[in-house]
Every structure is written in structure tokens, then in C-alpha cells.
A and B are shown apart, each in its own frame.
Chain A
């Protein structure tokens, strides 16, 4: 879903700023409005959008578990998990 977004496939790997930009886009805000520790629910985030973000980010080859994103929806928390997953992930075949 949302395959044709401007941030799509720009980077081979995910970065904090890519996450921020995607989150901002899906919330209809600008990236600078999303602070690292903001509870994203206070920006109007809902589970369906979390799922969409997870599947969008999984297209980079890293399997992002949706359930984990649900627990603490802040940019920092997500980046910490995704960053760890990316480092661990083997190169895509």
C-alpha cells in the first residue's frame, strides 16, 4: 500500500530520517513536526497506519514485526528496534 510515495525506494536501507519522513507523510504533517520522543498517538497515529508503515518498511528486505511497533509508538523506539534488525539482517539473496 502507498507504494508510490516520494520516499519509497530512495534509500536501499532505512534511516531515522526516512522513518521520520514516512511517518510525517502518513500523518499528513511535515517531518520537523515529529520529534524523536513524541508519542505518535498524539499525532493521530492508528494501528492501520502502523501496519502500513511496517509493510512499507519491510519492502527494504528487513522483516519489521508489526506487533513490536504497536507497543511503544515513538520514533526513537522504532528506530532502535529497526536499526537493530537491520544490523542483524543478512543480505537479501
Chain B
């Protein structure tokens, strides 16, 4: 910059002390967002004006400087004070236009892009850095770029546009005469603040708050267009622009004309409908920016005023209704548009990572004009960044006459570039179709969502599964095996085996006997036998006689068996002798009466491919079980596909453990017989016992078996199963979680496949290789099997694009014939295929969506049917049974998952008054509930299988209803008494604090004053949110430590009310972990590598005695870390002595904390202090780490990722301190939410402690160490065992738990570990008492 300009622009102004003012409400929201993520440049907004032509650089520079100088917002300074953030205008702080000459670089335009990108991605600290910067980049003689970057705290997009126009105006004027100034001035920034202050103190704000609360009551959860897990806004959004053609523009304007609504409202309405289609509910909630300038002091002020308002848009029958309703809703929202979106979010308690106020943003900018500098200059304005994009912004820019551009900005953590482009195409297609549909007079439902290309791909391309198969039946195929390899072992069970020749003989003999008894093609023969070789013989014999077998479970109550028998009317029941009495009145045949030697007669009734092979009954919604009839050709397709797909051979040994009434058993029974392999029959009940199963697998060298995922989880939780080697494991029956898949691969050596299919489509119709390398976060159900079609369709049977949930339909050769003797039901569920002439479809009742790679994701049930531990349950069947109980007037059954991973059935009943009285009277609630449960459970036990009996019952006097009068299932109460939370809040502070508790914890009801934050479900992450919420509400930083030591509403309110708040940040030398106060010997928990000990909170509370967490001195930047572990242990022992001067103490340490705990125990003993329990949670002696390469600082930092709950392996790109810290900041973890100083402390602790460990040599401790090993980890280092501590203790007690290292101090783990520690704590007290 030349000195001439410098003098010119620095016109001296009167020096006045700047006025400090609080931030406006709009700024405050951004302030906290930036504070939470100081390293994230996402608040930088920027644009680039590309200029081509004869630019008068001097004049331009003067104009730009003048604009900057007259814009107070560009010269804002900010500071964080005791009463919250403050700002003032520094008269000399405006951004000068500096020039950068890039014309000498090889590619100036690219160089400019790169320079601007780097500048824009530099984080800005509003308390230190200038909020704005402008540059003139010179690319050549006639090419320039004007770059302007302003922090969102200083301006919004409207302000940026004002600045651009102002510069153009000043440049044009200055070209005419150097000192020409525009007629009108920009407005004063202080007026914006005045207006904001007036509003925030006024009554209008209160009314607006109430209005929003009411308007949004019962609103659906907000979701984006793609259902990725929400990630914080990124610094660098995807941007995609697409010009909308004249046809669309004209159609839009014509539609606007017809409907009498401005076209921007029409566009917002149709785009919202597009979003709703992706979400799939009856309504969706989108965000609409509100500029707040009309009729406001801010009309001509660059400033941050913009607000985002939530807009509910419901399904409508036609375009006119949709547009009318949306326009009205927008109109009403604008009346309350000043009320901040962030505040609405807080009012509604939508705090925390995944809880949002709205989904996509819809931003129509009808006034956008090209920015014109002067005649002779071509200009193009490029918007580089507009501030944080949480999810996606669907923007439209232009006047809709000349131009209308669709611009999509998306958070790259949630959308990839292909998805953004696909949305642009799909949305523009949708808009065009909606406009045309209305012109035709058709309804909105006539508009599909998929583009023609998407329809082709997801109807046909992904289903190209044609595969030719021989005309065969199960019988013809296994008879071939029997003939080919008679000496091979067909069946095996503990203590016995049977060759194929023997199987052939036995089944032919029984088949002949059945044939003589009248069994032939299409006969349905019931088989009611426990798992045994005889059971297999029965199934095969029925089929060889030409019939279909009907498996019955003897564990089911008589009433249910009777209903099945009444429906199927079998001519004969093959039954074990001890159960024969249950089939009174039917022809029965027990194994004792089976013929063992065949006669000469040939079997003359071999089934044909179109004959029934088996009939399996499933739960029915009306309470009536329904029999699914599956034909030979269907099941042959399934088994031949499986045999070939997975390469089964005669060497395979397949375990039969699934009950025959569950269709998974079909492939277990028959696949080995088709492959010439061996079928190993598990003893009855073995399938429930993981240890017995593991022994069976080892003993019988099983190569293949099946699990329902919940059973697999139980299996893996048993250490006996670890290290098993198999060829393949199949799972199906319920959703397979990614975590379970990964755990499987760390513990078992086998391929893992996820299969999906209902009984109505011959066991499975899709498959997915869930191998070791599969990283899918939601494990798909995968690709269609041979000759199978899978569709995801909307309510009008149209295909849906990928990522959009819809009804899953199945088609192809595997479909069942239908339901036995239920033609109406068959016609309802098996329908014509609208996309393939002559095809049939089965409506699965499941909800699914396509992935872009052609694999399906299963999302759950679409109806009343649920699955519990792999078993299909129609809630209606249980409800029907409950209604037959005395005094039950109404019954509803629901599958609840109030604790993650612990689904259970809960029955709700309304009792007649007479019946009710029996349970009332003087009984306490708990007894009454127990009596109800016992009465209803007993009643159900006689009618439904045990897995269908609810775990809890609740008697209701009235039913919660939704707005449209339906049962509001979500409002049904939890089946247990709420904990005693004390009185209702008494003072205003307590009321506000209770409201913050519910806000942060997502509770509907504010808690009582004695409710404990952590008992209510709080953890250290939500505690950080609470600290921030308190800070925002009272401008007081009470610190995390306060929440740890005083976790009740009353306690924290008292703290706020007391004049002084000592900000305990929870990073001191110790924290109190448990509110328990007693004379019992305290427990000291030693921090792991990260230096903080908060993680022991759940464990300490579960143990329930006084407990302290000792924390690393490295957390305090003023403190040096001692030079050795022993020195550290000495310091910690001093702290122990201060906190608890005499008497025994107990120690617990996880990971590195265990190493320190052992050293402390040694030290305490040397000082003559009694040491009780020393518990090491998955800790191993120092020498285990000594030979590991010393981690470089970055590697040590990467350990932080694991501490924060991320998989470091999944993020190889995080290779610097900045990137790692930045990543943690963006994530919603405790670490990521820590204040800067604290996070730095954790970083220091991790790096420092790691070094000390390597140089530590253990001394021997003369007492017992209790070691708890994380059994689910250490597959790669099996030598990490409790025994490694043996040299350093008198005795080591070893326990192993089915946990991973990372989860050893989690809430769930605490519930397992606490009882073990309590028992030993009590024991040590006894022994110490004796020794004393």
C-alpha cells in the first residue's frame, strides 16, 4: 500500500474511549459456537469478486477503504468479561485493502483460489484477531479478484451483499469525481444493538417465546436428507450450483400466479415437500433464513442479524394446499422472526449433538442481482463461505425471470460430492414434476421422488439376479447325495452318527409307513419332537412320502398348538412318546412305532417342484398364527444359491441348533444333505448355553453355524468362545450391529455373513459379507440372492432413490405359495408386481433403504410386528391374549428399549373398575404392580410362547393420545416408579436450574430439587453442556468441578445465588467422585493416561462409599510433571494423607492408573498405612510397554482419540496436534467440549505420562492385587494377563470380564464391576479388622 493512501485514509478522528457493549443475541449464539470450537474456521464468511477489464486500481482501493472505514461492524473488537462477551468499535481497526500481485505465478487464477482458501480456513479468535480482511489480488493486466472475508459475528450474508453494492456504488461515483460520495449513508451499528436490546428486554420477546413453544409442540424430530450421524458443521462445505431452465422458471411463475402466492413461497413449499419425502414422516421441519432487515434499523447496516426459523411442513393432498399452508406458516413465523432460533432450540431442550431444531435449510434469495462495478468491467461474484452449514442448505438465487440458480451447500461430514449432485438433479426433477402435476390437476402424491435413472437402477439394475436352476426338489437333490456317497456321515450328535445310507434306509422306511397311512403330495404332517436324529429322520421322511412337514414346538402352550392344529389339520403327527398325550384325538406316530426297514415298494409320490416342502407357522396380528406354505422350487433356489455362493462341500460340518419352528433351521437341516456334508445335531437346549455351544463346536469341528445377533452377543460375552476357528458364521433374524460385527472379528476366526428374509420367502432373500474389512456403520442386509427382486417402494408402489426409507417388497422364485387355508390374507400380502408383468410381490412389512452400492439397509418394522431376540412377534397376538384376561378392558403391548441394547416387551392394560379394586386398597404401588404382573403373566403363559410374555405391565386409567386422537405410544409411561427426586423447585433460580437440567438431559419434566444430575442420566459430556448452559443463563462459569461436587438442582442453585462463584474447573489435583459421606474407608481412583479422573464417577457412585479421583499435575500448565512414576506416586500419597489422614484406604486404577495405584500401594505400606483393596482395571506392568517403540508426540496424541471414544485406526488423516485437537473439537465428546486450557492439560498429561511409564520399574507390593482383565480386547497381545503382576505382589486375584479396555469405566461396566469390588471391600474390612 502506498503512503499516499495511507495518509488519506487515516483521517484523524476525535479520540474517544470506545463504548463497550454486550453482544446482540444473534452474535451471542455464534460466540458460543466459536468458543466451543476455537480452531474451527467455520464462522468465516467470504466472497470473491472476479473482475475482468480495465480496473482503476487506485480508485478501487480508495473506494474499498472508504467502505471499510464507514462500516463499523468491520472494526469490531471483542473480549470475554465477567458478565459475558463484550464488543466495541476500534475507530482505527477497519480492514485496509491490501494488494497481492499473483500475476507472476504460473497459474494466477489457481494461485488466487489457493490463497483465498488458505486465508479463509485460518481460524479467527474474535478476542485477538481482526474480524475482517480484504485484499485485491492481481492476476494480470486485466484480471483481479476482490476478496472479502468477515467473521460471522460481524456480518451476515445480507451485510456482505450490502458491502459489495456499496463498494460498486463508491467505485462508480469515484470514477466520475474523486471526492464524490453516495447520497445515502450506511446505518449505524449501534442502532442494531439498540434494537436488539429493546427486543430482548421487551414483552414481545416473551410473547414470541410462547408462540414458538406452542407452534413447535409435538414437532417431529429434525433430520437431514441423508441419515448420517450428525457431525458438527465443517469449515469447508460442498458447494454445487445448477441453473434451472426456462421451462421450470416459467412453470414456477405461472404456478405462483395461479395460486396467488409469491414464487419464493411456492419454491420453499415444494422444496420442503422434497425434504419431507426424504424424512418420510407426516411432516418435516426445515429451517428458513430470516434476514430481519425489513422495517428495521439494520436495513442498511452490515451486521449479524439473520436468524433461522424452524418451519413445519405437513403432507398435503395437492400443491395448492401445500403452498397455501406453507405461505401461511411462513407469514406467521415472520411475525415472530426476531426470536432467535438458538433460543428456540434451548427452549425446546434440543441440546446435544444429535438433537436439532430443523433439518435442511431452504434459502430463496429472489433479490440477488449480479454485482456490477462499472461499464467495461465484467464481474462475477463467487460466494466462498456463508458460515456454518450444519446439514445442507438448498438455496435458490435469482429473479426467476432471467435466472434461477439452485445452489446446494452441504456439510461434507454428512454428504459426499456425489450425493450433493444427486440431490441437485433429484430436486430439480421433483420441482418440475410437481409444477406439471399441478398443471394437470393431479394430486401431490402423483409426484414420485426418484429420477428416471434412479428408478431404472433401483428397480432393475440392482436386481439382475437371473440364474438358471435345474427342475429339482429337495427330495431329488438329497436322494442324489444318498446315492452318491452312502458311506459318508450324514448326521452326528454327541455319542452317535448316521451314514447317508442309513439315513436313506430309515427315511425310506418311515416314508413308506406314512404313505400307507395316506400321506402324499400336499399332505401336511406335523412333527412335534425335540432336536434329535429322529427329528431329522421325520422331516426327511415326510418329504420323501411327498408331503410337507409342519414343525411344532412342544414348549408352546396347548392353546397355541391347538390353534395351529385346527388350522393345518394334519393327517398325522410324528411325536416323541412323552408328548403324545398332548395330541389327543389325532393320529400320532412315535419313534418307537416307526418302521426301521424299508419294504421293496418304491416311493410313488415324489414331490414335484411346485409341491409344498414345509409349512411354518408365524405369529399373526389378529392373534391367529398363520401357516406359511413354501414350495420345493423356492427352497431349492435358496439352498443351491447358498451352497454355491459360499462354496459348501462334503467336508463341511454344519451345526443344527435352531428350533425347527424357526425357518433358519430349514437350511441347517437340508443344506448339509444337498452338499453331502455332515449335519451335527446339537442336544436340546444347547442353543441357549454359550459354553455348551463352544464345547460342541470344538468337539465336533463345526465349520458353519447360525446365530441370531442377540444370541451371538451372549455367545461372545462368554470367554470360552474366544479364539474359536470356523469357516463361516451366518447371522439373521434381527439387525446385526456394527459393534457386534467388529467384536466378532476380534474374538472369532471365521467369515461372517448377514442374511435377511421372512418365512414368506424361503428363509433368506439377501446377503451381506460382514467381513473383517467391512466398515459399514449400519451393517446392510445386502444384495438379493439368485432369481430374486428386492424393491424399496413408496406408498404408491414407486421406487425410491437411495438413502430414502420405504416399504421393502420381495419378489422372485423364493416367494411362498401363501398362507395355509387363508386365501384372503394371502391375497392381501402377496400381490402383483407393478414393475414386472406377471410377477408376484410379498410386502415384507419391513422398512429399508438402498445404499448407493446396491446393498439394502434394514431399518425396522413398518407395522405392529416386532422382533425380540430374533423371534417374530405380532403385538396384536399378545394384546388379543391379554384381552381374554378377566377385567382387562383394553390392552396395548409395546417393545421398549429404555436402556440401549435391552429391549423388552411392556404390556399396558386398562382394568375394569371392579377388577381394579382388587389391586388397590392399602397395598403399596410396588406390591400392586407385582400382583398385576403375576396375574397377567400367568394368564398369558397358557396362551402364548414364553418369549411373548411382557417383562412388565402397567395399569392405566386413561390413554395418552396424539393430536389426531391416536394412541400416543411415545407418551406411554415407563414401567417403573421414578426415583425420589425431592420437592419441586422453590425459588426462581431453582426453577431455572431445573429447567436447564431437563434441557440438557432431554427430559420432559423438570426434576425435583434433590435430583442428582448423574442419577438422571447425566455424564461428563452433558455436564459440560450444563456448565455452558449455566454460563449462558447467568453469565457465571461455575466450572465442571461444581457439577461433580454438587450435582443437585438445589445445590447448584444455591451456588448461583451465593455471591461468589469459585470456578472449580474439575481439573484440580483431586475431584470428589461420590456424594457418599460415611466413616467407611475411602476409595481413591487414579487417573488414566489423560490425567483426568472423571471417568470413575459411575463406578464410584455404584460402589457408594466416599471416593476421590486423583488427577495429574500436568493438567495445570503451571505445574511440572514429576520425573518418575514413583515420584508421582509419592505426591499422590501425600494427597491421600491430606484428604484422609488416618485409617485404611482403597485404591483403584484403570490402565496407566493401575500402574500408579500399585506404586502408591507400595508407598502407603512403606509409610505404615493400611491398604485395603488395590484394584487394577485392565492395567499391565510397565515392562509391557518398555519395548514398544516410544510413541512420538503425535502417536501419543492419537491416544486421545481413543479416550474420546473414536477409533484411531479410522482416522489416519489426523496426523498433527492441530488436526487431532480440531477433530476432537468438532466432535461431541467430553474432551472435545473442554475449555482450551483443559484440553491442553490433557494433551500434556498423555504425552508426559507415557514417557514416565517406560522408565518405571515396579517394586514389590506385600499385599493382594485384584486384577480385572478386559476379556474382549488384547486379541493381538494375548500375553497381557493378570499373571504379569505376580512378581510385584504377594498375591494376584485374576478376574476376566466381557468388556473392552475402553469401556472398563463406562456406566454399564460399572454395574458389573461394582458388585465385585463391594464384595471384596467388605471382605478386606473384615480381614483388616482381624489384623487390627
Contacts and interface: CB of A to CB of B under 8 A. Distances in A.
Contact of B367 (A41, A47, A73): A47
A50 to B, nearest CB: 7
Nearest to A66: B367
A47 B262 CA distance: 10
Interface string B298-333: 010000000000000000000000000001101111
B264 interface: yes
B935 interface: no
Given A28-B328, A47-B294, A48-B366, A1 B335 contact: no
Contacts of B334: 41, 44-46
A41 B295 contact: yes
B335 A43 contact: yes
Interface string A33-56: 000000111111111111110000
B485 interface: no
Nearest to B366: A48
Contacts of B367: 47
A70 B299 contact: yes
Contacts, number: 57
Given A1-B256, A1-B262, A2-B260, A44 B335 contact: yes
A7 B579 CA distance: 87
B299 A71 contact: yes
A72 interface: yes
A24 interface: no
A27 interface: yes
Contacts of A40: 295
B110 interface: no
A55 to B, nearest CB: 11
A48 B265 CA distance: 9
Interface in B241-295: 256-257, 260, 262-265, 294-295
Interface residues of A, number: 25
A44 B331 CA distance: 5
B264 A48 contact: yes
A70 B294 contact: yes
A41 B332 contact: no
* Residue with the highest number of chain B CB atoms closer than 10 Å, among A5, A70, A72: A70
Nearest to B337: A41
Nearest to B329: A44
A85 B264 CA distance: 29
A5 to B, nearest CB: 8
Contacts of A48: 262-265, 366
B294 A46 contact: yes
A63 to B, nearest CB: 19
Contacts of B299: 70-71
B1255 interface: no
B605 interface: no
B1259 interface: no
Nearest to A74: B295
Interface string A13-24: 000000000000
A73 B294 contact: yes
B296 interface: yes
A45 B292 CA distance: 11
A62 B580 CA distance: 100
B209 to A, nearest CB: 16
A28 B331 contact: yes
Contacts of B263: 48
A46 B290 CA distance: 9
A1 B257 contact: yes
Contacts of A46: 262, 294, 330-331, 334
Contacts of A51: 366
B366 A73 contact: no
B1267 to A, nearest CB: 68
Nearest to A49: B262
Contacts of A1: 256-257, 262
Contacts of B295: 39-41, 45, 70-74
Contacts of A49: 262
Contacts of A45: 294-295, 334
A5 B261 CA distance: 12
Contacts of B328: 28
Nearest to A1: B257
Nearest to B253: A1
Given A1-B262, A43-B335, A70-B299, 16 more contacts: A1-B256, A28-B331, A39-B295, A41-B294, A41-B335, A43-B331, A44-B331, A44-B335, A45-B294, A45-B334, A47-B294, A48-B262, A48-B366, A51-B366, A52-B262, A72-B295
27 contacts: A1-B257, A1-B262, A2-B257, A27-B331, A28-B328, A28-B331, A41-B295, A42-B335, A43-B335, A44-B330, A44-B333, A44-B334, A45-B294, A45-B334, A46-B262, A46-B294, A46-B330, A46-B331, A47-B294, A48-B264, A48-B265, A50-B294, A51-B366, A70-B295, A70-B299, A73-B294, A73-B295
Interface of A: 1-3, 5, 27-28, 39-52, 70-74
